[in-house]
Amino acid sequence: MATSHLDIGKQLVQYYYSIYDQPAPVPAPGQPTPPHPRGAGLAGLYKPDALLDYEGTRCVGAAQIRAKLDEAPTVQRDTPNLSFDAQPTPSGLLVTVLGRLALEGQTNPITFSEVFHFVQAGPSWAISNQIFKCVFC
């Protein structure tokens, strides 16, 4: 039985979040907080010319995206309750995610929306475009 676009999209996004949502490193006593390694872990998932719009800030290329992801806050996603939609595109797969997250140290969740455009990169997938936005209504 063929795997659906929705199943593929969910797997790709869940893999992305499993790296993104790792806890930040704890600094040694008296040492500055080291940068979060999520950018390094995720950088290989992006095409070299990928675009990320993160809360209105545009990042172009894997290096800018990595820097933005390293400075982004640590979050806790309500992963079991994420809502996914996916559609095939001529060059890959468009995936939308709607869910809730809490910033580290906060208890009030925030609704977020995220869109990924994954494209085939040989036998695997790469992120070509991504938009992340918190929803305050």
At residue 31, the pLDDT reads 82
Residue 128 lies inside a defined structural domain of this protein: yes
Confidence of residue 87 (pLDDT cuts 50, 70, 90): very high
Q: Diameter of the chain by CA atoms?
A: 56
Residue 51 lies inside a defined structural domain of this protein: yes
The domain spanning residue 120 has which CATH number? Answer: 3.10.450.50
Q: Distance between CA 133 and CA 126 in Å, rounded? A: 21
Please state the pTM of the whole predicted model.
Answer: 0.88
Residue 29 lies inside a defined structural domain of this protein: no
Asked if 35 and 29 touch (Cβ cutoff 8 Å), the reply is: no
pLDDT 10s digits, 103-127: 877 888 899 999 999 999 888 999 9
Domain that holds residue 57: 5-19+41-135
Residue 10 lies inside a defined structural domain of this protein: yes
Alpha carbon of 98 to those of 26, 38, 51, 59, 112: distances in Å? Answer: 30, 21, 20, 22, 6
Residue 34 lies inside a defined structural domain of this protein: no
Name the token pair of 55. 């809360």
Asked if 69 and 38 touch (Cβ cutoff 8 Å), the reply is: yes
Residue 94 lies inside a defined structural domain of this protein: yes
Q: Of 24-28, 45-49, 53-57, 59-63, where does mean pLDDT reach its minimum? A: 24-28
Q: How many domains does the chain have?
A: 1
